[in-house]
Amino acid sequence: MNSKLFLFTEGQIYTSLWNKYRPAILQLMIASAEKPQQYKLSSHEFKQLNSKERSFSFSMQVFKGKAVTNIKKSVVAKDLLTVLELSKKAAELLETKTYEFKLDKQFMLHIAQCETAA
């Protein structure tokens, strides 16, 4: 029996996976200034980390390092936010612009820059 699998607490399941994709996500955030971006993720990587999860999809808007939308029920979204908070470049980008991150049911990650209310 592999007891290491049970050492993760809620909110830490997907951080290593999001960290793997972090360089690509940062590039997409920068490119989203021109137009919305998308990136195909590998569904098996998410399912391998948590086979009991029914839905990995989420929609989250982030500004100044905080989720503007309610993500309490999405561990996947919370872990993405954690990885973004730990990235100096992502923190810089999120300081002045609102970004929308959506993961759809086909594991396509959509990143768009939103209008930020002054």
Query: How far is the C-alpha of 14 from the C-alpha of 103, rounded, in Å?
Result: 13
Task: Let me know: does 81 contact 100? Beta carbons within 8 Å.
Answer: no
Return the H-helix or E-strand segment holding 8: none
pLDDT reported for residue 65? 85
pLDDT reported for residue 113? 96
CA torsion through residues 61, 62, 63, 67, sign: positive
Q: How many CA atoms lie within 13 A of 1 on its CB side?
A: 2
Per-residue pLDDT of the chain (118 residues; tens, 9 = 90+): 343 443 444 448 899 999 999 999 999 999 999 999 999 999 999 999 988 888 899 999 999 889 999 998 899 999 999 999 999 999 999 998 999 999 999 999 999 999 765 4
| Sequence ranges of the domains in the chain | 9-114
Q: Which of 78, 36, 38 is nearest to 60 (CA)?
A: 78
Task: Let me know: does 101 contact 60? Beta carbons within 8 Å.
Answer: yes
The residue written with tokens 């399912």 in the block is 47
pLDDT reported for residue 118? 46
pLDDT reported for residue 116? 60
